[in-house]
Amino acid sequence: MNIGKELNYQWQVNVLGRSALRLNRILMARKAGKGQLGKSRLLTPPLNTSIWTKELIGQHYLRGRYANSHGKVAWVTSGAPIEFLKALDFYLLYPENHGALCGAARAAEGLSIEAEKAGYSRDICSYARTDIGAMLSGKTPVGRLPKPDLLLACTNICQTVLHWYRVLAHHFQVPLILIDTPFIYTEMTDHAVAFVKAQLEEAIIVAEKVAGKPLDPRRFKEVTRLSMLASELWLELLRRNRHRPAPISVFDQFTQMAPIVEMRGEASTVDLYAAMLKEVDQRIEQGIGVVPEERLRLLWDNLPVWYRLRYLAEFLGAHGAVIVASTYTNAWAELGPQMDPEHPMESMARTYMYPILNRGTGEKLATMRQMIQDYHLDGAILHSDRSCKPYSVGQMDQRDRLMRQDDLPALLLEADHNDPRSYSEEQVANRLTAFMEMLEAA
Partner 1 sequence: MQTAAVRIPGRIENILSWKEQGGGIAAVFPIHYPRELLRAFGYLPVEVWGPPVVESVSSAAHVQPYVCSIVRNGLSFLQSGGLELADILLVPHACDSLQGLGSLLLDFIHPRQPTLTLYLPRGRRESDLSFLAQELHALYRRLAEIHGDSPTEPELMSSIRREEAADASLAQLHRQRSRLPLSDLAFYQLIRSREYLPAERFSQLASEALDQAGPITERGIPLLLSGIVPEPMALLNLIPELGGWVAADDLASCGRRLYPAGTSQDPFLRMAERIIHAPPDPTRGSSIESRHQHLLSLAAESGARGVVFHDVKFCEPELFDLPDLRRQLAESGLPSLLLEVDLNDPLSHQLHTRLQAFLEMIV
Residues that bind partner 1 (CB under 8 A): 118-121, 123-125, 128, 155, 158-160, 162-164, 166-167, 169-171, 178, 180, 182-183, 185-186, 189, 191-192, 194-195, 198-199, 202, 360-363, 365, 384, 386, 389-390, 392-397, 401
- Report how far apart, in Å, the C-alpha atoms of 402 and of each of 12, 326, 382, 390 are: 53, 15, 11, 19
CB of 250 to partner 1, least distance (A): 22
**Whose Cβ is closer to partner 1: residue 116's or residue 236's?**
116
Residues 92 and 207: their CA atoms lie apart, in Å, by 13
Residues 73 and 418: their CA atoms lie apart, in Å, by 25
**Whose Cβ is closer to partner 1: residue 22's or residue 171's?**
171
CA 354 to mean position of chain CA atoms:
16
CB of 220 to partner 1, least distance (A): 20
Please give the biggest Cα pair distance in the chain: 69
Residues 293 and 317: their CA atoms lie apart, in Å, by 9
Q: Which helix (H) or strand (E) holds 195?
A: helix 190-211
Q: What is the DSSP letter of 287?
A: T
**Whose Cβ is closer to partner 1: residue 161's or residue 284's?**
161
CB of 305 to partner 1, least distance (A): 16
- Burial class for 12, CB neighbours closer than 10 Å (0-12, 13-18, 19+): middle
CA 437 to mean position of chain CA atoms:
31
CB of 378 to partner 1, least distance (A): 24
**Whose Cβ is closer to partner 1: residue 31's or residue 122's?**
122
Single-letter residue type at 442: A
What are the phi and psi torsion angles at 47 (to 5°)? -60, 145
**Whose Cβ is closer to partner 1: residue 120's or residue 328's?**
120
CA pseudo-torsion sign 87, 91, 96, 101: positive
* Residue 151 β-bridge partners: 75, 176
CB of 283 to partner 1, least distance (A): 38
Residues 317 and 252: their CA atoms lie apart, in Å, by 13
CB of 367 to partner 1, least distance (A): 13
CB of 159 to partner 1, least distance (A): 5
Residues 94 and 87: their CA atoms lie apart, in Å, by 17
CB of 330 to partner 1, least distance (A): 19
**Whether 432 contacts 403, CB under 8 Å:** no
**Whose Cβ is closer to partner 1: residue 250's or residue 365's?**
365
Single-letter residue type at 64: G
**Whose Cβ is closer to partner 1: residue 121's or residue 286's?**
121
CB of 115 to partner 1, least distance (A): 8
**Whose Cβ is closer to partner 1: residue 41's or residue 191's?**
191
**Whose Cβ is closer to partner 1: residue 222's or residue 419's?**
419
Please work out, in degrees rounded to the nearest 5, the angle formed at the alpha carbon of residue 249 by the alpha carbons of 244 and 252. Answer: 155
**Whether 274 contacts 353, CB under 8 Å:** no
Of 209, 185, 182, the C-alpha closest to 349 is 182
CB of 298 to partner 1, least distance (A): 21
**Whose Cβ is closer to partner 1: residue 164's or residue 315's?**
164
Residues 364 and 356: their CA atoms lie apart, in Å, by 7
